[in-house]
A and B are shown apart, each in its own frame.
Chain A
Amino acid sequence: MAKLNLNRVPMTRQDPKVRGKNFDEVALGYNEEQVKAEASRCIQCPKHPCTTGCPVDVDIHDFIKAINEDNFAEAVTIIKNKNSLPGICGRVCPQETQCEAHCALANKDAPIAIGRLERYVADWERQNNPSTTPATDKPKPTGKRVAVVGSGPAGLTAAADLAKMGHDVTLFEALHVAGGVLMYGIPEFRLPKEIVQTEVDYVSSQGVKLELDAVIGKIDTVDELLNSGFDAVFLGTGAGLPMFLDIPGENLNGIYSANEFLTRVNLMKAYLFPEYDTPVSVGKNVAVIGGGNVAMDSARCALRLGADNVYIVYRRSEVEMPARREEVENAMEEGIIFKFLTNPKRFIGNDQNWVTGMECYEMELGEPDDSGRRRPIAKEGSEFTIDVDVVIVALGTTPNPLIAATTEGLDTTSRGTVVADENTGRTVKPGVWAGGDIVTGSATVISAMGAGKRAAADIHAYLSEL
């Protein structure tokens, strides 16, 4: 066997000093030479453990083999067989804990950069095959109608798969743009909206009817959909309800939920204000509370909008942070200031009701809690104040109660998530499936996609027997 090549090909990124001032994509992607070099490191393990780390079982070794054979079209086909959104997953999957963690070279600290290869293949397709018309012949219509509610990764995947099986699919989306968190949450510099739009267009090209501005639960309830000719309903409405800290001063001006801040910036394009009419305040000193991807994205947006100092305030330590490693590193390089073991106690405002400061506790870590992470405990008497003029609360989200409240007979948990079978997405309500963040709480793009895929397969089986 040839000697192992442990030199993972680095990805070119925009210089931190430059990128901190623009919303262009940070990671620039491999060029053809780099992609070949990286792909050639794959040793084509017979058992290819990499695939077991991928929630949708992408045949990683096969698509890498196709790259090595210069057959990019084939690589596209292999990936799309399992993953219909490779341009997105290649960019935002937490590969370091998924496919790449299982790569045979991971224990040598040099796993194949599977995500980067996947991204390259997807981008190659977009550039060389810009038409989104399906290559396959139109499927034979089954005459069955399916309503898919929510156009995030779960809904997009379910809708596309069901349409390909010949069902008549309508995709309902509450916002004026399809894509869910991919559009309103994850910023342009990490996931260009053009890529998401291409995927949405692809789903439409499969015959899916897209109804924007349609808040299910208000315009029609799930039961009304079922009674008005839809044979099945898939719920992919995500986890869109922001959590707040519930501490004094939280309603001061200048305190945003991450959802609001990111929606203003990404969906409403507040970074182009006043050309785009939706404003956002950034101020000089911004504190982002939380340690996940949402916190990193908020902090890096605030920096790009011109804040002088951006803090990430996290109550545990660096190792417990749930955000993707790569994004934490990017944030650090860009100059985000991390305040670990710090937790806000209350917010202080001026006579204009605008936030001016945040009183915080220093924290220490105690015994592990339910999540297996060590529980943060406030140190008595450790309070100190940080000057801030904008605060972004990024504590996480739970499902919006609207669907559950307006649908008879759905089973929900105490966290507001909808109960559905993990393998099929079936809920206890006949004719209704659910998947993605609405079932799991905030998770990942690829797990939402996987849930959409499994539900589509089960819905198809159900419809075939009707």
Chain B
Amino acid sequence: MYQILLREDLVPGIHLFKVAAPKVASKAQAGQFVVIRIDEKGERIPLTIADWDRAEGSVTIVFMEVGTTTHRLALLKAGDAINDFIGPLGLPTHIDKFGTVVCVAGGFAVATIMPIARSMRQKGNKVISIMGARNKDLIFWEDELRSVSDQLIVTTDDGSYGRKGLVTEPLKELLEGDEEINRVIAIGPSVMMKYSALTTEPFGVDTIVSLNPIMVDGTGMCGCCRVSVGGETKFACVDGPDFDGHQVDWDLLFARQRSYLDEEKCSFDQWQSQMDSK
């Protein structure tokens, strides 16, 4: 059992847990993830490691409520425990001195891009971060991300805070600008990653995305997470989750993510009716 040491509600529907997992904390690196299972009947789901504290032996995850597991997770409090917390899984993000790196984060991924931006900065890169949210109420960790970036641009879809529009607009402007951009890391909803990659492609700037297909074990044993990159089938959990965004077959990823729409709905409805009757 892995105890939740701290819970923070970042914005409605997005929560942070700090979990006691000393062994995972001792090995965690930017870009890796854990697979969690709440309890005996729960599903195994992957969540990115948003931070870690080796001295304290804790790992931080940030998650968005989407379906049954993430809604059930959101009911837990500090002091509660999660049955399984497996990691660190996947390959760490490739951190190197590239020059100027643009980190683009959509939605909850502000949390997941934090350790990457931090590591890139520590390596001596100039880090420009762009964070986007649907509206002002969904903005979190603006100051945190600014503290690990040389420059920060905030966008909201409706213009209620920062620049109005999508993250791809300032991204395009940066690419068109005078400063040479050496690498782009884009993490967030799949569509946002796809369009970020499409934006950078004409400029020939290496663009790394963190793919989020459905997973089961997260150790390379089932093949559920297979994605197509550069025409080759890869297992995202062991060959990724980071891949070259220009090589990803996005339509395949979107389609495979929808494999269980009916079942996910069925599971959610059943869970909600259980909650209602309580």
**Residue positions of A touching B, CB distance < 8 A:** 174-176, 212-215, 218-220, 240-242, 244, 246, 250-251, 253-254, 256-257, 259-260, 263-264, 268-269, 273-279, 281, 352-353, 400-402
A213:B84 contact, CB within 8 angstroms: yes
Name the B residues within 8 Å of A219 (CB-CB). Answer: 23-24, 27, 87-88
CB neighbors of A among B60-82 (8 A): 68-69
B199 contacts the other chain (Cβ, under 8 Å)? no
B11 on the interface (CB 8 Å rule)?
no
CB pair B216 A279 closer than 8 Å: no
**Bound complex: CA A275 to CA B258 (Å):** 21
What is the distance, in angstroms, from B61's C-beta to the closest C-beta of chain A? 15
In the bound complex, CA of A173 to CA of B89 (Å) = 14
A275 touches B233 (CB 8 A): no
- By a CB distance below 8 angstroms, the chain B residues around A276 are 41
**16 A–B contacts from the bound complex (CB under 8 Å):** A214-B23, A219-B23, A219-B24, A240-B220, A242-B221, A246-B233, A250-B233, A251-B233, A251-B256, A263-B221, A264-B216, A269-B41, A273-B263, A400-B220, A402-B219, A402-B220
Shortest C-beta distance, B254 to chain A (Å), equals 9
Question: Is A260 in contact with B220, judged by CB distance below 8 angstroms?
Answer: no
* CB neighbours of B85 from chain A (8 A): 213
B84 touches A215 (CB 8 A): no
Q: Are B266 and A274 in contact (CB under 8 A)?
A: yes
Residues of B near A273 (CB, < 8 A) are 263, 267
Q: Tell me, yes or no, whether B153 is within 8 Å of chain A by CB.
A: no
Is the C-beta of B147 less than 8 angstroms from some C-beta in chain A?
Answer: no
Q: Are A175 and B263 in contact (CB under 8 A)?
A: no
* Bound CA span A183–B223, Å: 18
Residue B86, interface by CB 8 Å: yes
B277 on the A face (CB < 8 A): no
B222 touches A277 (CB 8 A): no
> Which listed residue, A176, A218, A244, A259, touches B84 by the CB 8 Å rule?
A176
CA distance A264 to B41 in the complex (A): 12
Contacts of A176 in B (CB 8 A): 37, 44, 83-84, 86
Q: Are A275 and B41 in contact (CB under 8 A)?
A: yes
Q: In the complex, what's the smallest C-beta–C-beta distance from B205 to chain A, in angstroms?
A: 28
B255, closest chain A residue (CB): A353
Q: How large is the interface on B (under 10, 10 to 19, 20 to 34, 35 or more residues)?
A: 35 or more
B228 in the interface, Cβ–Cβ < 8 Å? yes
* 10 residue pairs, one from A and one from B, having the closest CB atoms: A353-B255, A279-B263, A260-B222, A257-B223, A277-B43, A240-B221, A213-B86, A176-B84, A274-B267, A276-B41
Question: Which residues 256-278 of B have a CB within 8 angstroms of A?
Answer: 256, 258-260, 263-264, 266-267, 270-271
For the A-B complex with A174-B219, A259-B221 known, give 12 more contacts whose Cβ atoms are closer than 8 Å: A174-B217, A213-B86, A218-B88, A244-B223, A251-B228, A254-B259, A259-B222, A260-B224, A263-B217, A268-B43, A277-B41, A281-B260
Question: Are B264 and A402 touching (Cβ within 8 A)?
Answer: no
Please tell me if the beta carbons of A400 and B233 are within 8 angstroms of each other in the complex. Answer: no
Given contacts A176-B84, A279-B267, is CB(A268)–CB(B226) below 8 Å? no
Residues of A within 8 A of B260 (CB): 279, 281
Evaluate whether A263 and B216 lie within 8 angstroms (CB atoms) in the complex, with A215-B89, A400-B221 already known: yes
**How distant is the Cα of A213 from the Cα of B259 in the complex, in angstroms?**
26
Q: How far is the CB of B258 from chain A (nearest CB, A)?
A: 8
Q: Are B221 and A278 in contact (CB under 8 A)?
A: no
In the bound complex, do residue A277 and residue B223 qualify as a contact, i.e. CB atoms below 8 Å apart? no
- Contact yes or no, A253 B217, CB < 8 A: no
Asked if A260 contacts B223 (CB within 8 A), the reply is: yes
B29-51: which residues lie under 8 A (CB-CB) from chain A?
37, 41-44
Report the separation of the CA atoms of residues A259 and B222 in the bound assembly, to the nearest whole angstrom: 5
B241: shortest Cβ distance to chain A, in Å? 14
CB neighbours (8 Å) of B255 from chain A are 253, 352-353
- Report B-chain residues with C-beta under 8 Å of the C-beta of A251: 226, 228, 233, 252, 256
- Complex: A250 Cα to B227 Cα, angstroms: 11
| Contact mask for chain B residues 179-206; partner A; CB cutoff 8 A; 1 contact, 0 none | 0000000000000000000000000000
Q: Note all chain B residues with C-beta closer than 8 A to A279.
A: 260, 263-264, 267
What is the bound-complex CA distance between A281 and B85, given in angstroms? 26
Using known A-B contacts A251-B228, A257-B223, determine if residue A402 contacts B23 with beta carbons closer than 8 Å: no
Shortest A159–chain B CB gap in Å is: 20
Among the listed A244, A263, A352, A402, which residue makes an inter-chain contact with B238, where contact means beta carbons less than 8 Å apart? A402
Q: Could you tell me the distance in whole angstroms from the C-beta of B42 to the nearest C-beta in chain A?
A: 6
A218 touches B89 (CB 8 A): yes
Q: How far is the CB of A323 from chain B (nearest CB, A)?
A: 21
- Complex CA gap A281/B223 in Å reads 15
Which residue on chain A has the smallest CB distance to residue B227? A251
* B23 contact set on A, CB distance < 8 A: 214, 219-220
Cα(A170)–Cα(B89), bound, Å = 22
Complex-state Cα separation, A257 to B226, whole angstroms: 11
| Complex: A390 Cα to B69 Cα, angstroms | 25
Q: Cβ of B222 and Cβ of A242 under 8 Å apart?
A: yes
Q: How far is the CB of A5 from chain B (nearest CB, A)?
A: 47
Q: In the complex, what residue of chain B is closest to A243 when comparing beta carbons?
A: B223
Q: Is the CB of A260 within 8 A of B216?
A: yes
A172 to chain B, nearest CB (A): 11
The CA of A319 and the CA of B24, in the complex, are separated in Å by: 49
